[in-house]
Structure 1
Amino acid sequence: MDLLKKSLEILEKVNAKDIAVFDFKETSPYYDYFVVGTVNDRAGQAAIGYFGDDLRNEIKHIEGKGNAGWVLIDLGDIVVHLFKEDDRRFYGFDQRFMEFRK
């Protein structure tokens, strides 16, 4: 199954909100996509579990276990960023990525 599609299915399973996919295939030698979603603490931890169960062999690294407000799941070509709502607003990821892609 396509890694991006599976990642999005996992985020839908944990009820992530405002899921955005940023395509960096043409601009980054390190990754193809950033996937950003808004979750609460419980959903963020559930996502780590589901990614571990479903994509164990694809995971390169995970940051933000616990109640960090920001979880990063590195799948190599795809980097998943899960934020609590306030943290997503604070870091302004969506705006920064839109500006970067211009």
Structure 2
Amino acid sequence: MSGLTHTEVTSELILAAVLKSLDDNKAEETVQIDLRGKTSVCDHMVICSGRSSRQVASIAQKLAEDLKHELGVLCKTEGEETGDWVLIDAGDVIVHVFRPEVREFYQLEKMWMPLGKVTQSAT
């Protein structure tokens, strides 16, 4: 763990670590949504895809490990058993890792982003 105290771990630090872990672990079509001022649940939502159930579960597991080791952030996860849609709650950052078909069905980006504002990071 880095030398940061719990109070020094900001949502921006968590977001940066999340995006790095997802990129390192070959997550696809990563989208980040700034939710500050829109909900009290979290500051940021990140949505990405894995190619298979196995990759989805692996991305989620590795993300939780990376956040714990790098920032001391303990995550709650749901959905790892099936690997269709895994939710990782890292406090101020919520991450959804989907299989592409499941992501298309739920279309979370459209629910949270203003019309015409869905942007994807280059992965």
Q: TM-score range by the shorter chain?
A: 0.7 to 0.9
Match of 1:53 among 65, 84, 96: 65
1:26 partner SS: coil
Letter of the 1:49 counterpart: Q
Q: Does 1:37 align with 2:48?
A: yes
Provide the secondary structure at the position in 2 that maps to 1:55: helix
Greater fraction of residues in strand: 1
SS of the equivalent of 2:20 reads: helix
Segments of structure 2 that go 5 or more residues without pairing to the other structure are: 3-12, 118-123
Q: CA deviation at 1:25?
A: 0.7
TM-score using structure 2 length: 0.73
Q: RCO (CA 8 Å, sep 6+): is it higher in 1 or 2?
A: 2
Give runs of aligned pairs for residues 1-102 of structure 1, distance below 5 A: 2-39=13-50, 40-56=52-68, 57-99=72-114
SS of the aligned residue for 2:73 comes to coil
> Gaps (5+ residues) in structure 1?
none
Name which of structure 1's ranges 6-15 and 53-62 shifts more when overlaid on structure 2: 53-62
From the CA coordinates, give the structure whose radius of gyration is larger.
2
Higher mean C-alpha deviation, range 17-26 or range 47-56:
47-56
Task: Tell me which stretches of 4 or more aligned residues in structure 1 moved more than 3 Å.
Answer: none
Alpha-carbon deviation of 1:99? 4.6
Shift of 1:42: 2.3
The CA RMSD over aligned residues, in Å, is: 2.0
Distance across 1 between alignment mates of 2:25 and 2:54: 9
Counterpart of 1:32, as a letter, is D
Q: Deviations over 1:50-98 (max 9, x none)?
A: 2232212323410001224100000000000011000000001111112
Contact 1:59 1:73 in 2 (8 A): no
Q: How many residues align?
A: 101
